[in-house]
Amino acid sequence: MNKISIIGAGMTGSTSAHWLAERDLADLVLVDVVEGMPQGKALDMLEAMPIIGSDIEIVGSNDYSATKGSDIIIITAGLARKPGMSRDDLLTANAEIVGKAATETFKYSPDAIYIVLTNPLDTMAYLTMKVNKLPRERVIGQAGVLDSARMCAFLAMETGISVENIHCYVLGGHGDEMVPLTRHSNIAGIPLCDYISADKLEAIVNRTRKGGGEIVDLLKTGSAFYAPAAAVAQMAEAILKDRHLILPCSAYMQGEYGLRDIFFGTPVKLGRKGMEQIIEYPLDADEKVLFDKSVAAVQETHEALKKLVKI
Ligand SMILES: NC(=O)c1ccc[n+]([C@@H]2O[C@H](COP(=O)([O-])OP(=O)(O)OC[C@H]3O[C@@H](n4cnc5c(N)ncnc54)[C@H](O)[C@@H]3O)[C@@H](O)[C@H]2O)c1
């Protein structure tokens, strides 16, 4: 049986375990600093397995040794946004938490592939790779699957067409400057602009960019977790089943799109080795302007991290 450990058993971590358990993919470990909480959630979920018909093991712990021998480590530990906060506002607190989660898990699972969610996402993925000196294939940030799914959901609501026919691609950093690729997105192969008016499409693009903030404003005490956690499960399955599935994720750039030494959102191919290939989209002049703005925002947070942590 494969093994997946989730660090941070809060809303996103425990909901990731839930979606993963439904997929019957791997034994699961939940780790959190709060005493009793990961143990309680793991036991509750384990007690649901007879109903689902799954024989996976689910354990909770406050000790990293429980993660020993994991195939995948998912990092969701850290503070989430509250109304009025940007993802970047979380940098100082979360850099310490993620740095520790990355180094402690690496001691017990030196061959694991990391999926990072903690915000600011692109920069936390960068930190995870750098502190453990990992090859880039083994660290992937979750953002684009969620952002693209949000755009698909809004388009399905607008057009009344099944989400299965809607294919959206989002590029760039996981922030309000992300670049929804309307030119490359389609409904059953037909360009979006043939289905809906330019005004409506622009409104959907804007709602996608601010999709995380919309949920934060509604919840008031935390941020989205169902959709991000479902994205984690899709990524983990693509890896463990060696699917070579192309999904938008945050990946370390080594010359792709002219970028270097930065984690940035792009479609990538996921398989058993992790991030197998970065897919490069040809960008037109308008897309390039948005792309550059997004790069600048992510670079700024990477620079702020380098001032905080020696990596
Ligand atoms: N990339 C994405 O798409 C995405 C989506 C959702 C959430 N997030 C991010 O994920 C993080 C968690 O969000 P959430 O909604 O689950 O928050 P949450 O508050 O519900 O859960 C966070 C958990 O982390 C735990 N924690 C704190 N320090 C820890 C440590 N040192 N070791 C282990 N656990 C620790 C807390 O006890 C808490 O249970 C936030 O940074 C949030 O912004 C990212």
Going from the Cα of 117 to the center of ligand 1, the distance in angstroms, rounded, reads 8
Residue range 197-222: mean pLDDT, rounded: 95
Going from the Cα of 162 to the center of ligand 1, the distance in angstroms, rounded, reads 32
> DSSP 3-state assignment of 276?
strand
- The C-alpha angle with vertex 138 and arms to 79 and 61, in degrees rounded to 5, equals 50
Secondary structure letter of residue 167 according to DSSP: E
Going from the Cα of 222 to the center of ligand 1, the distance in angstroms, rounded, reads 10
* pTM score: 0.97
* Entry field: residues in the chain: 311
pLDDT score for 176: 82
295 lines ligand 1 (CB under 6 A): no
- Ligand 1, closest atom to CA 117? 1
146 lines ligand 1 (CB under 6 A): yes
Q: Residue 311 pLDDT more than 90?
A: no
Element (H, E) at 156: helix 144-159
Structure tokens at 213: 């903030």
Phi-psi category of residue 53: left, alpha or beta, with phi > 0 → left and psi -120 to 50 → alpha = left
Whole-angstrom Cα distance, residue 67 to residue 212?
Answer: 30
142 lines ligand 1 (CB under 6 A): yes
Which pLDDT tens digit goes with each residue over 169-206? Answer: 999 988 788 898 999 999 999 999 898 999 999 999 99
Element (H, E) at 144: helix 144-159
Strand 26-31, strand 58-61: pairing: parallel
Whole-angstrom Cα distance, residue 287 to residue 293?
Answer: 10
Assess contact for 256 and 164: CB atoms under 8 A: no
Which pLDDT tens digit goes with each residue over 249-294? Answer: 999 999 999 999 999 999 999 999 999 999 999 999 999 999 999 9
Q: Residue 81 pLDDT more than 90?
A: no
Residue range 65-69: mean pLDDT, rounded: 98
Task: Select from 33, 100, 121, 264 the residue to mutate for testing ligand 1; criterion: most ligand atoms less than 8 Å from CB.
Answer: 33
Assess contact for 120 and 94: CB atoms under 8 A: yes
118 lines ligand 1 (CB under 6 A): yes
Whole-angstrom Cα distance, residue 206 to residue 234?
Answer: 25
190-191, strands of its sheet edge to edge:
166-167, 186-187, 190-191
pLDDT score for 304: 94
How many other β-carbons are positioned within 10 Å of the β-carbon of residue 148?
Answer: 26
CA dihedral for 193, 194, 199, 203, sign (positive or negative): negative
Assess contact for 140 and 248: CB atoms under 8 A: no
Taking each continuous run of H as one helix and of E as one strand, the counts in the chain are: 10, 14
Task: Select from 117, 221, 301 the residue to mutate for testing ligand 1; criterion: most ligand atoms less than 8 Å from CB.
Answer: 117
Peptide bond between residue 120 and the one before it cis (omega within 30 degrees of 0): yes
Assess contact for 271 and 239: CB atoms under 8 A: yes
Going from the Cα of 196 to the center of ligand 1, the distance in angstroms, rounded, reads 37
Among 166, 172, 146, smallest CA distance to 263 is for 172
Whole-angstrom Cα distance, residue 153 to residue 168?
Answer: 10
Whole-angstrom Cα distance, residue 151 to residue 118?
Answer: 21
Q: Residue 86 pLDDT more than 90?
A: no
Question: Looking at the annotation, which residues are catalytic?
Answer: 174
Whole-angstrom Cα distance, residue 24 to residue 190?
Answer: 35
Phi first, then psi: give them for residue 34, nearest 5 degrees.
Answer: -75, 125
Place of tokens 């990992």: 134
